[in-house]
Amino acid sequence: MKRGRDLEWAKSRGLRRACAALAALIVTLFALDLAFPPPLERARVVSPVVLDKDGGWLRALTTPQGRWRLEARLDEIDPEFLRRLVKIEDERFWIHPGVDPFAMMRASASFARSGRVTSGGSTITMQLARMLEPRPRTVPSKLIEMVRAIQIERRLSKRQILAAYLTMTPYGGNLEGVRAASLAYFGHEPKRLTLGEAALLVALPQSPETRRLDRFADRARIARDRV
């Protein structure tokens, strides 16, 4: 009888220790999250826009970093473009917590088979984290992006994340964001896009410098047609 009570007490003590350790881990992670928040304020740095006396558009200036970046507003962007973008870049964007384990497993399996990166596992939120804090493409950097993505998802809604992503996405040269790209390449806002325009705006950020329209128009067209 005494041995049975000792075993029960030992199990209970082990369970209490495990719960205490888990609680300590949660508190530590929460404290670290508060102490080292993601630099979301960087996504709010956009180009000043010069308007006429009636509120009409005259021109936009560059940011302090020399970028032409305009704030993206989802209600003013072609919804079909948004649908296609999410489908291609991050099809589970609306349901994952910042990291998509299925995409990560697919990318890992592809790398194991071919010995090179053939399938990306980064979500839109992870890509936003990388744009906020650029780092070399290494495994430690990818792990940091995953942590940052989860932090971002805790602070912003999915629509806010998508808007920030479309504000900062590079389109070659000093163009950043879908509005700047649409105005520069097509001469109009991205509220209504043709199929070809939408496909090009999906394709360019995947390799913005090697698909620049002003330097590599043929590559840009091939990438557009593939999309």
Task: Tell me the three state secondary structure of residue 49.
Answer: strand
Task: Tell me the three state secondary structure of residue 88.
Answer: helix
- Confidence band, pLDDT 50/70/90 cuts, at residue 118: very low
Residue with tokens 């021109």: 59
CA distances to 9, 86, 104 from 95, in Å: 42, 12, 15
- Weakest-pLDDT range from 47-56, 157-166, 183-192, 212-221: 47-56
Q: Rounded to whole angstroms, how far apart are CA atoms 39 and 187?
A: 32
What is the crossing angle of helices 178-186 and 195-203, to 10°? 130
Whether 120 has a pLDDT exceeding 80, the answer reads: no
Whether 12 has a pLDDT exceeding 70, the answer reads: no
User: Nearest Cα to 158, choosing from 147, 149, 171?
Assistant: 149
Residue with tokens 């806010």: 160
- Amino acid sitting at position 9: W
- Weakest-pLDDT range from 16-20, 41-45, 128-132: 16-20
CA distances to 14, 71, 85, 123, 226 from 134, in Å: 43, 20, 22, 15, 28
- Confidence band, pLDDT 50/70/90 cuts, at residue 11: low
